[in-house]
Every structure is written in C-alpha cells, then in structure tokens.
Structure 1
Amino acid sequence: MADTDKKYDDMTPEEREAYDKAEKAREDAEQAALPYKWKQTLQEVDISIPVPVGTRGRDLDVVLKRKHIKVGLKGQSPILEGELCKDIKLDDSTWTVDNQKEVNIHLEKNNQMTWWEHVVTSAPKINTKKIQPENSKLSDLDGETRAMVEKMMFDQRQKALKKPDSDELKKQQMFENFKKQHPEMDFSKAKFT
C-alpha cells in the first residue's frame, strides 16, 4: 500500500478516499497504456484494437482459443497475445474489422458469474471489487428470471407494508376456493396460518 503500513480497514474515511483515488489513477494509467481498450459485463468481454487505416480481415492474424488469444498484423509482432484471464466459449466468441481501422473482439465468458481482472494474465490487473455493474432492466431478462425477480420485488413491498406475501396470498386464495366448493362444511373455527 502506498505511503502507509496501515491496512485498508484501519484507515480513516479520508485516508480510504485518498488511497482509492490514487489506486484508481494508477489503474487508469496502466489500462490507458495498453495497446487495446476493453470492457466487460458478467457474460462477456469486448476488446477494441486500433489498426492502420485500410486494414482488412485478410491482413490480420487472429487466433482465439479457449484460454489463449493472439491478434496482430500478418508478418508483424502480435498487438495482443497471451493466456486469457479465464476460459471463453469459443463457439460464441467472434472478431470483426470495423471501418478498416479497428479490430473488435467479442469474448463470451465460460463462467458468467465472475469479473475478469485483466484480458491476458501478463497485463496489469484491475480491482474487480470496485466494478459498478450496470443496472439491468426487467425487460432484458428472460421470462422465468423476470417472473422470479418480480415476485421477489412484490414480496419485499408486501413485507414492508406488513401485508401477506405472494405465497400467503396464494394459500388464502386456495382456502377461499375450498370453502366455496364445500359450503356444507363449517369453517368458523378454522385458523389460517
């Protein structure tokens, strides 16, 4: 840690802020020095590599493997090469040349529950604990996941209002239906829990 032997947890809020700011500046400088730009979500990593104007796909040497990447111009040293941070899904990973001046690489993560610290293991790491994921919209989710999230949100609101959650409402409805189907029974002493 810079200028201090203190552990992060023992720092004052002001010291933490200064440390975080210095670490962010160092990380930003390291990332800016790379010959490519990259961004990620939990599912994928996208890399942009500038190349000379007029570059076509046939001018490139691009190799994507489950745990390795190589990108460069044929006959020259690779611009990006090394062991990937984590495994990728080869069949879902692609590359294209954009406007004959940029190579765009899309890597589909094999483990879609982790953030990558870097693209290749030889590159400087980023602090994945500081990543702020983008808020996803309910409309972006598949039907089953969306239904589960909406149920959880409804139950959370009901609990905050001290009202029955969806499961309790379902039980109450089933009990009411049963009472209607069996008017001959006396439910006056029935307890619903």
Structure 2
Amino acid sequence: MSSADDDYDKLSPEEREAKDKVDRAREIAEQAALPYSWKQELPEVDIVVPVPKGTRARDLNVVIQKKKLSVGLKGQEPIMTGELCHEIKMEDSTWTLEDQQSVEIHLEKLNKMQWWENVLTHHPKIDTRKIQPENSKLSDLDGETRGMVEKMMFDNQQKQLGKPTSDELKKQEALRKFQAAHPELDFSNAKIS
C-alpha cells in the first residue's frame, strides 16, 4: 500500500468526501481535455474520436495493435497516438466512422477482469477504485454462475425470514425419506443439526 493510501485512510469521513470531490473534479477536467472520450466495462473499452465533419474512411489512418493505438487524418499529425495501458485482443477490436464526424473504436481487453486507469499510458489516469460498475442482470450470467447466485439469494432470503436454507431443506428431505423407508426405527429422541 502506498503512502497516499495510508494518508487517505487517516482522513475523517468528511475529509475523504472533500478530497474525493476535488479528485473527481480534477479527473473530469483532465479527461475532458483529451482529444477523445472513452468509457469502459470490465471486458471492453469504447473510444469516440471527433474528426472534421465530412471525413471519409479513406481519409483516416487508424492503427490498432496489441499494445498501441493511433488515430488521425492521413498526412496530418495523429489526433491520438501512443502505447495502450494494457494489451487488447486485436481480432475482436474494431473501428468505424460514424456520421462522417467521429471514429468509434471498440477495444476488447485481453484481461477482462481489470479496469483501465487510462487509454494511452501518457494520458491522465482515473482512480479505478472509484468505478461503480453497472449492475449486471442474472440473465447476463452463464448457467452455472446464475444457479450459484440464485441459490445464494434464496438462502439469504430464507435466513432473513428465519427459515431453513436450501442445504438445510435438502437434509430435512433426506431425513424424511430415510424415516419413511425405515418406519421400524424410533427417531423421537434424534437431534438434527
């Protein structure tokens, strides 16, 4: 942990809120000064680079590489160029010209579990600890993960209502079946945990 993190931890809640507000305002100003805008989700980064109205695809020079990005008009200095802060999957990354006035770039992250601090390494960074991802829907999850999440939600709801969890219900059902199969046994003094 850095000394900046230690200093932040020593601040009162009010001081943290004030510092966060100042940091966020600085971040917004720095990002607004860039010649492009960008947003991200864990698996991808989307960038919009404004170009002069009437620009055609053949007028553009767009280079997307595993760790490098360059966008500009042919014969001119690039609008943005440099090393990407993290590697991308080139085969899943694309660009398109929208309404002859902006280049929209979609970069598929190689590490889909990592927030990017910036697009190009020499540009101002954002505080990735403050990112609040959109809530994902259960329908977005694969079958196994969805089943796990639904079970956890059910168990949590059952606990709040003072009712047995799914595992406890399974044990009770197994015991009922065993008792039904063995009526000759006396379970009156059995302790179930």
TM-score, normalised to structure 1, is 0.88
Q: Can you give the 5+ residue segments of structure 2 that lack an aligned partner in the other structure?
A: 1-5
Q: Which runs of 4+ in 1 moved over 6 A?
A: none
Deviation at 1:85, TM superposition (A): 1.2
Which residue pairs with 1:154 in the alignment?
Answer: 154
Q: Give the equivalent residue in structure 1 for 2:126.
A: 126
Q: Percent identity?
A: 66
How many angstroms does 1:189 deviate by?
4.8
Report the counterpart of residue 89 of structure 2 in structure 1: 89
Asked if 1:166 corresponds to 2:166, the answer is: yes
CA spacing shift, 1:61–1:181, aligned 2, 3 Å: farther
Measured on the aligned residues, the alpha-carbon RMSD in Å equals: 1.9
Cα distance in 2 for residues equivalent to 1:189 and 1:61 = 82
**How many Å apart are 1:184 and its aligned residue?**
5.1
* 2: CA distance, partners of 1:65 / 1:153: 42
Query: Which one-letter code corresponds to 1:115 in the other structure?
Result: W
Aligned amino acid, residue 32 of structure 1: A
**Aligned residue for 2:59?**
59
Distance 1:57 1:152 in 2: 50
* Deviation for aligned residue 1:41: 0.8
User: Partners of 1:149 and 1:82 in 2: how far apart?
Assistant: 41
Distance 1:164 1:122, change over 3 A: same
The offset of 1:118, in angstroms, is 0.2
Letter aligned with residue 47 of structure 1: I
- 2:33 corresponds in structure 1 to 33
Structure 2: distance between partners of 1:12 and 1:150: 38
Q: Within 1, Cα distance between the matches of 2:11 and 2:177?
A: 61
Q: Deviations over 1:47-90 (max 9, x none)?
A: 00111112222221111111111111122111121111111122
Alpha-carbon distance between aligned partners in 2 of 1:54 and 1:155, rounded to the nearest angstrom: 58
**SS state at 1:7 partner:** helix
3-state SS of paired residue (2:122) = coil
Separation (CA, whole Å) in 1 of partners of 2:144 and 2:57: 40
Give the number of aligned pairs: 188
1:47 aligns to what? 47
1:98 is aligned to 98
> Matched residue of 2:91: which SS?
helix
Q: Identify the range of structure 1 (67-76 vs 96-105) with the bigger mean alpha-carbon deviation.
A: 67-76
Shift of 1:183: 4.3
Q: Name which of structure 1's ranges 134-143 and 116-125 shifts more when overlaid on structure 2.
A: 134-143
